[in-house]
Amino acid sequence: MDFSLPEHLPGLLAEMDEFIETEIKPLEREHIQYFDHRRENARTDWDNGGIPRREWEDLLSEMRRRADKAGWLRYGLPSQFGGRDGSNIDMAVIREHLAHKGLGLHNDLQDESSIVGNFPQVIMMDRFGTESQKKEWTEALITGERSMAFGLTEPNHGSDATWLETTAVRDGDGWVINGAKRFNTGVHRATHDLVFARTSGEPGQARGISAFLVPTDAPGFTVPYYWWTFNMPTDHGEVELKDVRVPDDAVLGEVDRGLEVGQTFLHENRIRQAASSLGAAQYCIDRAVAYAGERVVFGKPLAVNQAVQWPLVELQTEAQMVRLLVYYAATQLDANHHMEVSDKVSMANYRANRLVCDAADRAMQVLGGIGYSRHEQLEHIYRHHRRYRITEGAEEIQIRRVAQRLFKFGKR
């Protein structure tokens, strides 16, 4: 087996680093309050539901504009959308590389914002949208003219998505939607919410759920509040839908087969999420090793103590194993239909997300009080990546997926 990376990637990463240093880092230094110890407070509009401040999001938009102009933002998209046909292995390596640099404007995962964009909504639209929908949506999603929140989770249903209670009933040439959604990420700025609702069948059945593109300004669509979370600001809205009417062309994909749309979104995100967690974990390990070499205690470097060495060796070994797993899963995703390798993606996802939490926690311990402070990035990394063990399918759901394949039960 060849463990070397595709030959174009080292040069590509070098070009990317040069772009970051010349175009992004100067902009970051002009707005350093969003990245130093003040970051959580500077980013959060505490008096407006805890959502991100407009100025912060404007800065992210400027970063994406520069990245798009330089040809980086759309790297992972097909060439027909102005992208460079970046593969899943390309994106995994790039995502790891960017996260390994630590917190910065080049790659701020709290907002899933990066110089190399992650566009699962565009992939969904390409695979499931009608020609009319593609024309209306694709470029607008890339530029930010339109944005789509994701309305699957409900107050009473999370991982058990087939039991969702939101319904959509045909009414003339359209649909009437009633229900509630929870943790609608990005709904504070979204033009539309991709709402999953039962259109037929019984609770627990996968078939019978449809996906609807619902305008967030539609009558009856309300966001009563946002959930304040471990890592602020929050963009996780509670959504209520009361007699919300949408036309028939608001359906994305086939009626009654909306979960296929959702699964595409999740698999595209999970492998890239895993790569980002791996990169952030490596940052934490490297920071702890560097500090242990510099810090002198009892007249000698902290690094000579086996109590410091061994946990970091264990983490470094785990990182290398996870790296191989992430790369393997990414190459398998490139070569096969995403459902055929979903167990590989799940393995990579839950192990990488667990690793970064362990690495951040251990790095805090090595750095002591400084590590616990907000003057280091460790607490921010931990608070952000801890949610990855819940979102996109909790790690228990990822393990369950692997078990289904391992024990040969359930649907493929």
Residue 127: Cβ within 10 Å count: 12
CB 256 within 8 A of CB 199: yes
DSSP string, 276-343: HHHHHHHHHHHHHHHHHHH-EETTEEGGG-HHHHHHHHHHHHHHHHHHHHHHHHHHHHHHS-GGGGHH
26 prior amide bond cis, ω within 30 = no
Contacts of 347 (CB under 8 A, 6+ apart): 325, 329, 398, 402
Read off φ and ψ for residue 221, nearest 5 degrees. Answer: -95, 115
Spot the catalytic one: 57, 392, 395, 396.
Answer: 392
- What does the CA dihedral 280, 281, 286, 289 come to, rounded to 10 degrees? 150
As a whole number of Å, the CA-based R_g of the chain is 22
CB 138 within 8 A of CB 125: yes
Active site includes 392?
Answer: yes
CB 290 within 8 A of CB 301: no
Rounded-to-integer distance, Cα 99 and Cα 95, Å? 6
Rounded-to-integer distance, Cα 189 and Cα 21, Å? 29
Nearest Cα neighbor of 109 from 402, 360, 400, 370 is: 360
- Give all strands (DSSP E) within 95-173, no chain letters: 107-108, 113-114, 148-151, 167-171
Amino acid at 317: T
Read off φ and ψ for residue 392, nearest 5 degrees. Answer: 55, 25
Rounded-to-integer distance, Cα 402 and Cα 306, Å? 36
> How many helical (H) and strand (E) elements, i.e. helices and strands, does the chain have?
13, 14
How far is residue 136 from each of residues 245, 291, 308, measured CA to CA in Å?
A: 20, 51, 56
Rounded-to-integer distance, Cα 46 and Cα 183, Å? 18
Residues marked active site are found at 392
